[in-house]
Structures are given as C-alpha cells and as structure tokens.
Chain A
C-alpha cells in the first residue's frame, strides 16, 4: 500500500528500470474509479498521479451529488449508456461499501405552460434511454408530494429512481480500494511534460520523472491540456462551466422530499433544490461559462440569483440558515457527448468532457476504459479480473446510524461517544480513523470531506480549534 505526498518520484533520480504498466493522471472520481478497475488485475503495476494533495479535490468534491438514472441523457450517446450502467454499478457498490445513498426520487416541476408542454417529450426521452418508471403527475399530486412547494406548480414528471449519494466517500472508496490492491497513489504530482522513451511514456512532473507503458488521461478540466502534451493536438477544448451552490441547514431538510429538478428548456438546465445524504438541502447550481479553470469562487450575483430562484421553488427554504456556499466547474466541451478516445498506437486513452454526470457514470466509465485498454494493448493482459477485497467506508449519511448513535460501537471504544464537532456530531473516533486511514486527509478540508467535521452550521465556531488540535496531533496516532 503506497501513498506518497512528497519527495522525488524516483529516488536518487534513478528511474526504476521497469516502467509502470499504466499511469492514470488525475485522482478525481473518474481517475480513482479507473485505477480501482485496473487494480483488479494484480499483476499490473499502476500509478495514480494527482496534482493536488488529496484525492477528489477538483470537480469531484463540488457537485450536486445526485446519482442519476440518465433518463434525460441524449439517447444513443455514450453518456446515456455509461450513466445508466454507472447508476446500476455504483448503487450496488455503495450498498456494499457503506457509501450513503437515498433513492428519494425526482420531480421535474413545470412552472409554466411551456414547461408543462415539455413533459411528454421528456417522458418519451426517458423511454428511449431505457428508463420506464417515469410518469407525469398532476398539479394536485405534485403539491401533495411536496407540500412546501411555492405557488404555481402546474404538474411534474416523476422520476422515482433518482437518488442522492455522498460524492466524497465514493471517490475515497475507489482510491482506498485501489491503494489496498497495490496501486501507487502519488499526490502533489502535476504532470508537466510528456514524451516517449523506449516505447514508454515519460512523464515529467513537479516531483520528478515517472515512466509508464500505458497512459490514461483523467485530468478533468485539464484533459485538453494533457491531450496536447501527449498528442501535440487535441480534439476538444474544455470550457469550465461554473456551478455555484448554496447548502442550507439541516433544519431545512423537512421542507423537501424529492430532488426538485427544473424542466430543461432552450435556456439550459436550470436550478434544482435537492436534499443531501448529510441531511442538508442544496440550491443550485448556476451555469456560467468561464475561461479560468481555477475560478471556483462564488459571486454576489450568482448567490443572489440562486436565492431568487429558490424562493420561487420552495419559499420557506430561503428563511433557513445557510451552512455553506461553494462552486464547482464542469468540464464542458464543444461536443455534446463524453470525449473518451483511445489512441491505440500511442497506448493512450483520454477520458475527457465528463461534464455533469461523471460521479454517476464513474464505474461504467472505468469499465469502458479498461475495455479500451485491453483492446489497444493485449500485452497488458486484462483478462480475468479478480474481485478486490471489499472496503467499508465510514457512514456520513443521516439515513443510516452514525457512530454517535451506536451503543455497540461506543461500548467497544468510548472515542465514538466523544462528540467533537457538535453541529455534525462527528466523534473523536471518526476523526482518528480518518487520520490513520489508507488515504489520509492532507488538510482540514480533506478531513471535513472524510468526516464532515467543521462542515456544519457553525463552521468551526464551537469545534474549529479542537478539530485542529486533533488534525495537527495526528502523529500521536501514528501511521497505519
């Protein structure tokens, strides 16, 4: 089990004589899923390299956390197929790994005649995407199902299969399982140059050189840049499309039962209201095309606009306290579909343009990519994968018992009865476990994504300093 965070990748500047079989660039939800999938072939030497100090630190940490059915994808597209398969795969994986998922269902609420008229078309589209459980419901039923909805809802498309999921533990579960299966995870490694040497890829990175026979580009917003580094050209350009979101307090959770999706119109996908598995309510996202791939800040206009829309959808929501505001960047391209391309002769796969469904599709993308690699490079022998040892992720979901609620756990270890972060009820035991886990957090933010500590309504007023003490004292618990 190897996770490295500093120092040269090749000790003493000497490249190991044997290159990695595969290097995956980018440890977002897509890259970690691919690494995990490939790790099912124990004879392969695999490197997962990530520019940030933590996994899932890019787009994968900042989305709306919905496990989509794919009912509204473009029928026949690669995305449609991979979202559908991914939904099935990830649902099963989540159940087995303790990743919280709640199938709350979605309602696409029509607020005007144009939107109401669009519902039959959407129903039909769902059918083309192989999703048959959707149906159109009346204004009365809509209101009965969502009593706090603002006035004027004319009806809705009911999509019972839409679910909410924890994006943080998903990425972390993949990464953990990959590392436990032998993948070398190298953090703080930015790939800066790629050349070929003796039939292998030679990656120049911020932590020195690394060689790999096969290269997978899962660099998210930078997938186009990496393509140009490897191929000298690319077949797409990533335009970051910012989505700003507001997270409302847990006390707002009772206001909403379903994911309330907007009806997509010519003007785009629009703003949704959705519960989270942590028991909050999300409002967002915006959709703004930018040039800057680092522009993950929120703006006054963006937040104002969200509140205006939110007030219409669920008026009582905007009276509740706000817990957090954040923004994520979708990797939009000039194309309508995912840009997953295998360059066989170059032993290189690009997994680009995974815009707004990558969390859902992640496992299916990984399986698809493994298939492409197997075909492109029979020398790697990707036949007969073995099942990795199961992982069990700490439960961050409110629909399942959390450690502070478990007498059995507290009886074995009182640290699970010692609440440190009061708003989110995170215990000392959970924080300790995260700090000594296979892929430990690099920062307080990383600790928050693993435990939710400091992520609640007080944002540290009560617990911030105490959590910091535990984080800084992580040495006391020693490495695993």
Chain B
C-alpha cells in the first residue's frame, strides 16, 4: 500500500470560510507552501448551499460569498485541493489523505483544522418511531434543493426555530413544499424578529413553541409526526417530510483522532485565544470550535489564526499554556476556552441554556474581577452571545481558571462580582 509522502509549510483541513481565510492570511504573508484540503468536489464550505442572502453587508448570497472566498484564497497563492479527504494522522503534524489521484501522507510545520459543524440528525436526538424516507437536516435539504434541484416532498414540518430553521423554510419554499408548521421545544422561537414575522405572516406558517416531536410515523415514506405540546397533549400532523434543524455539533473527528483535547462544553477542540489546541502546532478555527456562527465570524477567526500560526512558525508567538476559561450555569460554553496571558483576544462566543433578559456577564479569576459586560438585549438559547476580549491582558498566567458567570441585580447596582 503506497502513499506518496511530501511536505508543506501549513496544511489547512477544510475549505469553508474559516479554512480559506486562514490560508489566505498565511499565503498573503509569504508563509511558503500553504495547502487547503477539501473533501467536497467544490470548495467554499457550507455557504455553497445557503442560497439566501446574509453573507456580508451587501445582500451577498452564500454561493456568491463562497466563490469570493475561494478566489481570494487562490489569489493569495494558497493551494486549494478539492476532492481530497484528510482521513487520519500518521504523526503529530502528518496527515493521511485519500483522493482520486491516490493516497498521500503530508507533513506540515503547522496544521489548521477547519472542519466545520453539522446538525444533529433525528437519530442523535433520539426521536422515536419508524425509519421512513423523508427525514432530513437543513444541510441535506439545502444541498438537495439548491445544488441538485431534487424533489423533496409535498408537506413538511420543520423542527427548530432558530435562524437556520428559517433557512430550511426558504429551501422548502423553493422546492414547492408546503410547510405545515415550525416547531420548537423552547418557550419561544429564536428567529430574528423579521424572519419570525415573515414566517408567520408572510408564509402563513404557524410557529409551535413548547412542542417536541414525540414520534415519526409511516413506513417506506414518512406519513406524519406526532407532536407533544406543552400541556402534554399529543397531536398528529400529516406530512411526508420533516426537517430537523439546528442543534449543531462540531465535526471533531479528525481533532479527536489526532489526540486533540476537546472542551466539554463546546464538544470542539479546546483552544486558547490564539486558536492553539493542546497539540503543539495544531490550530483550530471556525465552526469546529463552537458550532454555528455566521460565516463572517468564522472567516474572522481564520484570519486571526493565520497571525497566530505565523507567530508559531517564526517563534514570535506567546508562550503556550494559560488558564482554562470556564462558564457557570446557565451559560453552556465559551469559545475560545483557554486564556493567553498578556494577549488581548478579539472576542468570545458563548451560549446560554436558558433565556436571560439583559444579562450582565462577569469574568473573574481567583475572586478578582477582570471584566463585566452588560448585554443590552435578551440572550436566547442557541443564539450567539458575544463577550469582548480585551480583558485577557489582565489574566494571571499562574492563576486559577477564569470563570464567566451571569451577574445578578446586586452586581448591577453595586458592581460586586458574584460567583
């Protein structure tokens, strides 16, 4: 079994917004051979099949955005190789690949993991019932409709009322599928106001809150879903299609197989503010760190990581190893989740497990308050919550873990840090 062996300077896995931005940032600065591996036939990542607008400021659609980022990366001199999958590790900075031209073993001076995220399918959500055709995730739906023009069904229920649920709605409309309902187990939807109004009023789709999918029905093809409502009542909705949206999980397989430690909260690689994982020379960026954030955010991380990788390659980067950053309930996770003492960070993303009205986020280390930030809106589960990062300069390298908590009213008035 022969593998061609070769070396590059930086190997980026995944040509989505994050990986492409990282590659561009590296190649632009003349970091030798920068190669991006993409297992799909076309580079660009998830935006390729997000046909709605909302990628960038000027009403750019996903495919337009994807094409631009690919062009920009190529223009910078990075190599983008599509149809090539990184299948595993042969050493700390050596990856095995499979492609139509054969097997390779590529060793790099630094590796950037940008493998993205996916939605949990029905099975992973433990939804009981039969296993008929017609059960999709948004990712599959979008590809079926936008990339392949496939017929999907006639009547659909969309599970989940986060922004991605709205993306599912628009793909279903394009496929001429009647959407019977949008359901969410949350007490309220998490669509933006405009999307919610558009869904309900514009398209006449009821949004059923406090509702879980109790069972899938039908053999061969889906014939309906049984819904359990807040009051325990069960109803059956006839439909031949159900789309499970949201509930994103990082695609961390390659990271784990490479011995990269995960953060228990995000389930993505644990990284510090310089996107360094626990394995020296291995970086991670984009949705593999924190499931779904907008493409621009993923790309921004890629660009920042490029700086960090350059620092690593020329030895000018900060010393590795800072205290862990932890969250307390009702916060679910934070990314990055390790501090780099002395180095300000662009910002953090967090998630909360329950709705919080104008919360105050309090950052402490060993009882000292490092930062306090008022969030001027409601924070909702599965929606981005951002925290500024300038305070990381104040972190004590030798100190205990940094904690992020939701401050109480007293904190708001008296400015005291609460645990």
- A interface residues with partner B (beta carbon < 8 Å): 246-247, 250-251, 294, 296-300, 302-303, 321-326, 401, 404-408, 410-411, 414-415, 417-419, 422-423, 425, 443-445, 457-462, 464-466, 468-469
Contacts and interface: CB of A to CB of B under 8 A. Distances in A.
Interface in B122-177: 122-124, 126, 128-131, 133, 136-137, 139-140, 143-144, 147-148, 150
B236 interface: no
A330 B296 CA distance: 52
A310 to B, nearest CB: 12
Given A419-B39, A461-B119, A408 B128 contact: no
Contacts of B139: 458, 461-462
Contact of B123 (A323, A411, A445): A323
A246 B123 CA distance: 9
16 contacts: A251-B253, A251-B256, A297-B128, A297-B129, A300-B128, A325-B123, A326-B131, A407-B2, A408-B1, A410-B98, A444-B133, A445-B131, A460-B121, A461-B140, A462-B139, A469-B150
Nearest to B117: A461
Given A321-B249, A407-B3, A465-B140, A417 B98 contact: yes
B5 interface: no
Interface string B90-101: 000000001111
A410 B1 contact: no
A305 to B, nearest CB: 12
B87 A417 contact: no
Interface in B192-251: 214-216, 219, 249
Contacts of A326: 131
Contact of B1 (A246, A296, A322, A405): A405
Chain A residues touching B, majority SS: mixed
A458 to B, nearest CB: 5
Chain B residues touching A, majority SS: mixed
Contacts of B148: 465-466, 468-469
B51 interface: no
**On chain B, which size bracket covers the interface?**
35 or more
B128 A466 contact: no
A300 B219 CA distance: 18
A303 B139 CA distance: 26
Given A323-B124, A457-B124, A404 B87 contact: yes
With most chain B CB atoms within 10 A of its CB, the pick from A251, A419, A444 is A419
Given A405-B1, A464-B136, A464-B144, A410 B123 contact: no
A461 B100 contact: no
A410 B102 contact: yes
Given A414-B101, A462-B118, A407 B1 contact: yes
A465 B143 contact: yes
Contacts of B150: 465, 468-469
Nearest 7 pairs between A and B by C-beta? A459-B121, A414-B100, A465-B143, A464-B140, A461-B139, A465-B144, A417-B100
A410 B256 CA distance: 27
A445 B126 CA distance: 19
Contacts of B123: 247, 322-325, 459
A436 B201 CA distance: 49
B137 to A, nearest CB: 5
Contact of A407 (B103, B120, B131, B133): B103
B76 interface: no
B64 interface: no
Given A322-B123, A417-B101, 15 more contacts: A300-B214, A302-B128, A404-B85, A405-B98, A408-B1, A410-B101, A410-B102, A417-B103, A422-B39, A444-B133, A461-B121, A462-B139, A466-B148, A468-B144, A468-B150
